[in-house]
Amino acid sequence: QKEVEQDPGPLSVPEGAIVSLNCTYSNSAFQYFMWYRQYSRKGPELLMYTYSSGNKEDGRFTAQVDKSSKYISLFIRDSQPSDSATYLCAIYQGGSEKLVFGKGMKLTVNP
Amino acid sequence: DVKVTQSSRYLVKRTGEKVFLECVQDMDHENMFWYRQDPGLGLRLIYFSYDVKMKEKGDIPEGYSVSREKKERFSLILESASTNQTSMYLCASSWGLADARHEQYFGPGTRLTVT
């Protein structure tokens, strides 16, 4: 089993939809959970970060972590065409400076 | 703002050529990373460096080497380019232990085509 699994999609939704992006992980030692956003022909940029179970909100974005199920989610409310990008989950497990990345989910929000 | 720059956005090389990809960061970061990104395979770590002249293999180091002579610069070398090394190459840097978030900052990427 891979350390981090992410459905690669792609996902296409109409403008205004609620989007749910998900990752599962296998190692309970994982400590910090991140979501990166990558626009076409650009490098990934950190979007959200959390280190505990529960929800963290930032505007239209909510990051959710369930450590008991080893499941992380990113919700986008009132999605906009500008949200069209690839979203990658990333996890830091400690002991090394490496991050473990999901494969990324390509999201298209249609006007 | 943290800035990570890569020497080329697009590069076309022939099979067997030696290829250098350069990455420079301007925030005095301890760690630097080289990834390749391919459709369906995601980001895969090739090498990373946690200090000048220090390096560690990532998940797919075969066919690659790296050099870090100065803190701000990390080079990826393809000793003899092959067509299966056609990919998007992304450089990243991070603070290291000074940053509890362990956030990595990425460059814009170099799309390398080997013909």
Q: pLDDT, tens digit, for every residue of B5-39?
A: 999 999 999 999 999 999 999 999 999 999 999 99
Mean pLDDT (whole number) for A21-36 = 90
Specify whether the CB–CB gap between B11 and B111 falls below 8 A: yes
Question: Length of chain A in residues, anyone?
Answer: 111
CB contact under 8 A, A98 and B58: yes
Q: What's the pLDDT band for A1 if we cut at 50, 70, 90?
A: low
- Burial tier of B66 (Cβ tally within 10 Å: 0-12, 13-18, 19+): buried
Chain A residues in contact with B4 by the CB 8 A cut-off are 43
Mean pLDDT (whole number) for A32-59 = 92
Residue A64 pLDDT > 90, yes or no? yes
Residue B45 pLDDT > 70, yes or no? yes
The pair of three-digit structure tokens given for residue B107, joined into one six-digit string: 């460059």
Selecting from B45, B90, B106 the residue whose C-beta is nearest the C-beta of A98 gives B45
Instruction: Please state, rounded to an integer, the average pLDDT across all residues of chain A.
Output: 92
Mean pLDDT (whole number) for A23-32 = 86
Give the 3-state secondary structure of residue B84: helix
What residues of chain A, 34 to 53, have a C-beta less than 8 Å from chain B? 34, 41-46, 49
Mean pLDDT (whole number) for A61-71 = 92
Tell me the percentage of chain B whose pLDDT exceeds 70.
96
Mean pLDDT (whole number) for A47-53 = 87
Q: In terms of CA atoms, which chain B residue is nearest residue A10?
A: B40
Mean pLDDT (whole number) for A100-105 = 94
DSSP assignment letter at A95:
S
Interface check for A33 against chain B (CB to CB < 8 A): the answer is no
Chain B residues in contact with A41 by the CB 8 A cut-off are 108-109
pLDDT tens sequence across B48-59 = 999 998 999 999
